Amino acid sequence: MLALVFVIMTVGELMLSPVGLSASTKLAPKVFASQIMGLYFLAPAMGQGLGAQVVKLYSVDNQQVYFGIVGVATIGCAVLLLLASKSIKRYMHGVN
């Protein structure tokens, strides 16, 4: 089961990485392209660091609350991205 989780995560990364890297370089100002690439790679590192801190709150006694909060936070981030999608598309006008 653990191997299946790693396969799914790897396939997801292989599908997401080229698109994210391409969008980062196309949308960044030319003089800041390398800094934006650094930020692109820093974001997952920050997420993993945050996850390492949040997982300390997990216990068998509160697993429903823990996963409920993680799920609500995920849905909240998705809603924020949905709300920001119009302005993101506006910034991407003319980018192929």
Q: Read out DSSP for 52-75?
A: HHHGGG--GGGHHHHHHHHHHHHH
- Give yes or no: residues 4 and 42 share one domain: yes
Average pLDDT (56-85) is 93
What confidence score (pLDDT) does residue 68 get? 93
| The pLDDT of residue 88 | 84
Q: What percent of the chain has pLDDT over 70?
A: 99
Q: Based on the fold, state whether residues 66 and 37 are members of the same structural domain.
A: no
**Residues in CB range of 16: below 8 A, 6 or more apart:** none
For residue 26, the model assigns a pLDDT of: 86
Backbone angles phi, psi at 48, to 5 degrees: -70, -35
Q: What's the confidence (pLDDT) of residue 81?
A: 93
Mean predicted confidence (pLDDT) in 35-54: 91
Is residue 46 located within the same domain as residue 28? yes
The answer to whether 73 touches 81, Cβ cutoff 8 Å, is no
pLDDT tens for 26-39 read 888 889 989 999 99
**Domain residues for 67?**
58-96
Cβ contacts of residue 21 below 8 Å, gap of 6+? Answer: 37, 40
CA–CA distance, 60 with 23 (Å, rounded to integer): 41
Residues 39 and 73 in one domain: no
- Based on the structure, what is the number of domains in the chain? 2
pTM (global) more than 0.75:
no
